[in-house]
Structure 1
Amino acid sequence: LPETRPELAKALECIGRAGAFTREGMADARRAILALREDVAPLVDEVTALVGEHQAEGEPPVDLDVDGTPRPLAAEAGLAAFRTVQEALTNARKHAPGRPVRCRLDYTADGLTVTVTNQLPVRSPDSGRAALASSGAGYGLAGLGERAALCGGTLTAGPEDGHWRVHLHVPASARMSS
């Protein structure tokens, strides 16, 4: 197919997304297997690495805060927390490039709360919907909500005070694997 044909561009986009989904699935499988081992990297270390990758791609520094005493989580809860940070950073880079991001992990007696916020981009209200529709994306947050529910948690995402906020809460009962 000539490179100017729209079918080729769409096919290449689909292939790229399929590759990304495959890499994510393999990473999930590796994390699930590693979660069964005692020497698995703590969530804080994994999130710190994600933040480093985000910044290495030319984005501004992420303000990472960890409150409370980090502790091991059930595999499902740890994966939900990791994926929440990963998706929030990806969305910030995609929809608000160059804008500051804040990530907070808050360990309490009630469980773990993950909050990621970034400044909203300055653009027309419809431009975000158009960009989302043209990207073929839009399932990331829904998938995160499903992951949260699997471990008894909740996920909310939306605009708040000039920022986009993604908020995950995993209950303390999800801390220990059964």
Structure 2
Amino acid sequence: MTFGRFVNSLFGGPAPEATPTVVDDVPAAATLTEDEQTAKALDDLRSTVRRAGRDLPTVLLSRLGQIDDLLRDVVATIAAQGASTEQRVLLEAMVRDYIPTPLHAFLALPERDRADDSAATALFAEQLGLLEGTVRDMLNQVRIGAIEELSTHGRFLADKFQAPDPGLTLGGR
């Protein structure tokens, strides 16, 4: 709604006739790759944590910062060398659900329950510790997958282009 239509609707003026418009623009999210969408969701999560910074105990801010750094490594590594479907699904779940859901639940608690020494803070810190360990494992798995892929390719190249064993050729030549 334009400002003029808004003002006219308030004061009973005539509504301008709607003119059909053709929209050729594709929504921005539709043009992003899966990796770019994950990176954007991670940026959104970082923004949420920053906005809530004054309401989060230091231990939680620290853990969330460590996880953010690790997740950014995972996103960059996956974008550069790929990952399995399972790894991508887990990454998406972490960025869009496993971290934001308890974060929002924690922020909805009364201030006294968000204190440094509260049971809720300890519980959330423990959950973040589990997530951090899982992210570290995932990053390691993605890197190992790339190393295995490189090794397999190296064996393929060696088998394809390496000179045959002289004892296996006719006449020893």
Normalised-by-shorter TM-score class: 0.3 to 0.5
Q: Judging by fraction of residues, say which structure has more helix.
A: 2
What TM-score results when the alignment is normalised by the length of structure 2? 0.33
In our comparison, the structure showing a higher alpha carbon Rg is 2
What TM-score results when the alignment is normalised by the length of structure 1? 0.32
